[in-house]
Amino acid sequence: MGPCAAGTAYIPALADFVPMVSGQGAMALAGPHLTKAVTGEDITMEELGGAKVHCRKSGVGDLEVADDAECIAAIKTYLSFFPSNWEEKPPVRDAADLDERMSEKLMEIVPDSSRKPYDMYELIAEIVDDGEWFDLKPKFARSVITCLARFGGQPVGIVASQPKHLAGVLDNDSADKAARFINLCDAFNIPLVFLQDIPGFMVGSKVEQAGIIRHGAKLLYAVSRATVPKVTVVVRKAYGAGYYVMCGKAYEPDLIVAWPTAEISVMGAEGAVNIIGRSVIEAADDPDATRKAMEDAIRATIDPYIAAGNAMIDDVIDPRETRPVVIGALEMAATKQVERPWKKLGVVPV
């Protein structure tokens, strides 16, 4: 709601929730005058560390709000999902929405072609209580969604791919964003729901030099360490390491289900053909027909029913059943207890 400079900037950085008032809230390790004296850069406090900087680029801020009143309202909404301390369960409230409600709109959201994007928020709106959720870092690292919502009155944290942005690919920032959110929910006993439509991690020399492996390891660490109930729904793509970091079977979700549109594989059919079929296609009399035949053959192997037969998922469900299935899984895992050997601290990959 106001400026924080020098050492005080670390106070919000260590907080659980950081809303920032646009044009008013700001954070920086050095103010404009010191910055100019040291570096020669002439810059305003808003440009240096305002809400747009930290809620859209750095990721220190969680939510950009218009004024003080909206800021206080956001804090109240945020706290409504949390227990008063880590030893308690999050507060369950009576839900007007029916647990068994099924939405026909879910049959229309995902396009027929896996290459076409869609808005995961539309899916979330159809499955959570009253179509309401509370976004954290919505304008930062937008290829992954992290939000608080309720299923049957039970607070949950949702980690969802966003195919509308970068096709849902994870990069350094989105891996950090998801890892921090998972740690937050795990710290306060809030169950996690994962919605997968992920082609994997960003690749290339730039992201490798920027430490994509190290950042991705943070997410792997967070998912594997979380002891709260975990439910995973594979909506469409679940390729390679993306399948695992979004709480795939190896990371012990209490339930993992898939829609009939799911594609669970090391990579997509097009990518696989480019790697393993290049020489065959180049030597073929009809390269296009050969490519199509190879892609069709690979697609036949990434059918979700085959994945279920290989125990990579627990069931294939009708998309309309997503809400009641998730609620049932959360009820089943409500008394979950995970005993871990005592240790001082794990070595977090930072």
Domain boundaries, the chain: 3-74, 89-262+313-332
pLDDT at 286: 87
d(CA 140, CA 58): 8
Distances (CA, A) of 125 to 63, 74, 133, 228, 330: 19, 19, 8, 23, 18
Q: Which residues contact 9 (CB under 8 A, 6 or more apart)?
A: 27, 28, 29, 49
pTM here is 0.93
Q: Taking the domain 89-262+313-332, which CATH number applies?
A: 3.90.226.10
Residues 126-161 pLDDT 10s: 999 999 999 999 999 999 999 999 999 999 999 999
pLDDT at 279: 81
Range with lowest mean pLDDT among 204-208, 293-297, 310-314: 293-297
Angle (CA) 54-180-250 rounded to 5° is 145
Which run of H or E residues covers position 13?
A: helix 10-13
The tokens describing 83, both together, are 């227990």
**DSSP code for 195:** E
Q: Which residues contact 75 (CB under 8 A, 6 or more apart)?
A: 17, 19
Confidence of residue 210 (pLDDT cuts 50, 70, 90): very high
Distances (CA, A) of 346 to 111, 184, 216, 229: 42, 16, 17, 21
Residues 159-187 pLDDT 10s: 999 999 999 999 999 999 999 999 999 99
Pick from 198, 236, 233: nearest CA to 109: 236
Does residue 268 have a pLDDT over 80? no
What are the two backbone dihedrals, phi and then psi, of residue 314, each rounded to the nearest 5 degrees? -90, -30
